Chain A
Amino acid sequence: MIDKNKILKIITSSPILKVLKETQKIELVRFYNMLEALLKMDIPYGEVGEKFVFCIALTFGEQGKWNIFQKGELVRKIKEGLLNDNNIISINPKGEVIKIITGTYINDYVEAERLSEKQSQLVFFIKYMEVHLFMNGKAIYCIPNIMRPSRVGVETPEILPAREYRKLITNHHNRHVYKEKGSFKYWRNKLKRILKDKPEIQFNKNLYSYLDLNIPDGHVDRGATISGMDDRTDIRIMTFERGEIYIIEIKCLGKTDSTEYSDDWANEGLIQLGEYLKDEKDSKTGVLVLYDGRIKDEKINWHPDIKWHPKIDKDPMRFFLESESASVKAKKIYSKIKKRKKN
Chain B
Amino acid sequence: MLLDNKAFKRSNEILYVFYSADEVSFPFLSKIGIQKCIYLSEVLSPLKEIVLSFLNFIYLHKGPYSKDIQNILDHLVSMNAIEVDSFSTYKKNSYANYKITKAGKSLVENLIYDPMEKEKLQWIRIVMKLIDAYKDAYGLSEEYQEVDKIIGLVYQEPSFYEIKQRSGKGEFIPMGNRNTLTMKLIHFLEKVEETLPLKFDRDKYKLDLETVLLVFFEYLYVEYLSEKVRI
Taking beta carbons and an 8 Å cutoff, which residues of A are in contact with B?
2, 4, 6-8, 10-12, 14, 16-17, 20, 25-27, 29-30, 33-34, 36-37, 40-41, 69, 149, 151-157, 219, 238-243, 245, 282
Q: How far is the CB of A79 from chain B (nearest CB, A)?
A: 23
Query: How long is the Cα–Cα vector from A219 to B198 in the complex, in angstroms?
Result: 13
Query: How long is the Cα–Cα vector from A245 to B199 in the complex, in angstroms?
Result: 10
One of A25, A41, A69, A240 near B196 (C-beta < 8 A): A240
Query: How long is the Cα–Cα vector from A14 to B197 in the complex, in angstroms?
Result: 19
Q: A7-B219, A36-B137, A153-B222 are in contact. Are A2 and B181 (CB under 8 A)?
A: yes
Q: Establish whether residues A26 and B214, one from each chain, have CB atoms under 8 Å apart when the complex forms.
A: yes
Q: Could you list 23 examples of A-B contacts with CB < 8 Å?
A: A2-B181, A7-B185, A8-B192, A10-B218, A11-B205, A11-B207, A14-B218, A17-B214, A17-B215, A25-B211, A26-B129, A27-B133, A29-B134, A29-B218, A30-B136, A33-B137, A34-B136, A149-B225, A153-B222, A155-B229, A155-B230, A240-B197, A243-B199
Q: How far is the CB of B119 from chain A (nearest CB, A)?
A: 18
Q: Establish whether residues B134 and A33, one from each chain, have CB atoms under 8 Å apart when the complex forms.
A: yes
Q: A17-B214, A29-B133 are in contact. Are A2 and B185 (CB under 8 A)?
A: yes
One of A29, A30, A34, A151 near B222 (C-beta < 8 A): A151
Q: A7-B219, A151-B222 are in contact. Are A41 and B205 (CB under 8 A)?
A: no
Q: A7-B189, A11-B215, A12-B205 are in contact. Are A151 and B225 (CB under 8 A)?
A: yes
8 closest cross-chain pairs (CB), A and B? A243-B197, A30-B133, A153-B222, A243-B199, A155-B226, A33-B137, A37-B138, A154-B225
Residue B117, interface by CB 8 Å: no
One of A6, A26, A240 near B210 (C-beta < 8 A): A26
Q: How far is the CB of A125 from chain B (nearest CB, A)?
A: 19
Which residues of chain A are near B181, meaning CB under 8 Å? Answer: 2
Query: How long is the Cα–Cα vector from A149 to B221 in the complex, in angstroms?
Result: 13
Q: Establish whether residues A37 and B219, one from each chain, have CB atoms under 8 Å apart when the complex forms.
A: no
Q: How far is the CB of B214 from chain A (nearest CB, A)?
A: 6
Q: How far is the CB of A252 from chain B (nearest CB, A)?
A: 29
Q: A11-B192, A36-B138, A153-B219 are in contact. Are A20 and B211 (CB under 8 A)?
A: yes
Which residues of chain A are near B195, meaning CB under 8 Å? Answer: 4, 8, 240
Q: Establish whether residues B130 and A37, one from each chain, have CB atoms under 8 Å apart when the complex forms.
A: no
Q: Establish whether residues B138 and A33, one from each chain, have CB atoms under 8 Å apart when the complex forms.
A: yes
Q: Tell me the number of A-to-B contacts counted with CB atoms below 8 Å.
A: 109
The chain B residue sitting closest to A39, CB to CB, is B138
Residue B184, interface by CB 8 Å: yes
Which residues of chain A are near B210, meaning CB under 8 Å? Answer: 25-26
Which residues of chain A are near B221, meaning CB under 8 Å? Answer: 151
The chain B residue sitting closest to A153, CB to CB, is B222
User: B124-155 CB contact bits vs A (8 Å, 1 = yes)?
Assistant: 00100110111011100000000000000000
Which residues of chain A are near B188, meaning CB under 8 Å? Answer: 2, 4, 7
Query: How long is the Cα–Cα vector from A69 to B230 in the complex, in angstroms?
Result: 29
Q: Establish whether residues B225 and A17, one from each chain, have CB atoms under 8 Å apart when the complex forms.
A: no
The chain A residue sitting closest to B130, CB to CB, is A26
B198-231 interface with A by 8 A CB criterion: 198-200, 205, 207, 210-211, 214-215, 218-219, 221-223, 225-226, 229-230
Q: Establish whether residues A6 and B137, one from each chain, have CB atoms under 8 Å apart when the complex forms.
A: no
Query: How long is the Cα–Cα vector from A235 to B185 in the complex, in angstroms?
Result: 31
Which residues of chain B are near A40, meaning CB under 8 Å? Answer: 138
Q: How far is the CB of B220 from chain A (nearest CB, A)?
A: 11
Which residues of chain B are near A154, meaning CB under 8 Å? Answer: 222, 225-226, 229
Which residues of chain A are near B134, meaning CB under 8 Å? Answer: 29-30, 33
One of A16, A30, A33, A238 near B200 (C-beta < 8 A): A238
Q: Establish whether residues B197 and A242, one from each chain, have CB atoms under 8 Å apart when the complex forms.
A: yes
Query: How long is the Cα–Cα vector from A16 to B222 in the complex, in angstroms?
Result: 13
Residue B158, interface by CB 8 Å: yes
B31-77 interface with A by 8 A CB criterion: none
Which residues of chain B are near A149, meaning CB under 8 Å? Answer: 225, 229
Which residues of chain A are near B138, meaning CB under 8 Å? Answer: 33, 36-37, 40-41
Q: How far is the CB of B159 from chain A (nearest CB, A)?
A: 11
Q: How far is the CB of B138 from chain A (nearest CB, A)?
A: 4
Query: How long is the Cα–Cα vector from A228 to B28 in the complex, in angstroms?
Result: 57
Query: How long is the Cα–Cα vector from A16 to B181 in the complex, in angstroms?
Result: 25
Q: How far is the CB of B142 from chain A (nearest CB, A)?
A: 9
Which residues of chain B are near A156, meaning CB under 8 Å? Answer: 229
Query: How long is the Cα–Cα vector from A16 to B196 in the complex, in angstroms?
Result: 20
Q: How far is the CB of B203 from chain A (nearest CB, A)?
A: 13
Query: How long is the Cα–Cα vector from A145 to B97 in the complex, in angstroms?
Result: 38
Query: How long is the Cα–Cα vector from A342 to B197 in the complex, in angstroms?
Result: 65
Query: How long is the Cα–Cα vector from A128 to B189 in the complex, in angstroms?
Result: 37
